[in-house]
Structure 1
Amino acid sequence: MNEKVKLPKIIFDWLDNEIKQATMRLNVAQPFTTIAAILNEMNKKTFDSDLFWWINLPANQWLLIDALRYGYEAEPEPEHEPRWAIKAGNCYLTNPVIYRFNDITPETAIEYAAYWATKSYADDIVKTLGFGEVVDLNNEGKADE
């Protein structure tokens, strides 16, 4: 038996509301038709960009389908919201427009707001660059302590 899918809190809240509305309004119950109906409705509305980009990633659409099949629950809230940064060696990306890296501490990267709230954005830049790794600045250097 499959376990419930863990979804980010924002997606969990949104999906709960959309499922109720879609099943009442559109009388759909199958995963693919429900997701299609929700995406169709989404195109008619203005959504928060994190929500919009999360929903439009194909892998996340499969997660939504599995959530409808097996049930879903909210991911546990982290102690701190992740701050996804791109690290190459001892340097962090500080300017994503011109791909500038600087030798700074994770704390300084946080001060400069050189991070993303959504990991997939940072992953896309790493793919574009062809090097680097995505790290959570909140956890950088903590494993050594």
Structure 2
Amino acid sequence: MNEKVKLPKFMCDGINDLKVELSIKATESPTEIADFMEKLNHINSEIHSWIYYSTTNQWDLFDALRYGCEAETEPIYYVRFIQNNSHSFLNSSESDGLEISDNEETEYIKTKFTMPEILAIDPRYKAFAVPVEEVDVNEE
């Protein structure tokens, strides 16, 4: 295999932070990598849950420690409040803050968000998140 493994961003961040802290190299022995995985497991509950979610995750983590990792691209969403209305999307701008308008993104207006961004604005907005690719092209 010898190629970078795609992992969730929080896993890549945790691996990279701990590698720097412990000066771990990809050439370490399997025993040392197992020790590193155990230390990584104690960083936070999100990492712990991911590691123990499936044995596939554990093997992916092992390969990521040996060959490196890169973050998976996060899905992006519109926050849509009214179905079939082209002016019902959450917009964010530095000058106007948050408002409801169309989904046309510009240099100054953000209309596409990652889930962590949506949750940071207001966790209730998660219920209105729609993957960008699911919005009808005619509505844009």
Q: Give the alignment's TM-score, normalised by structure 1.
A: 0.45
Q: Based on CA coordinates, which of the two structures has the bigger radius of gyration? A: 2
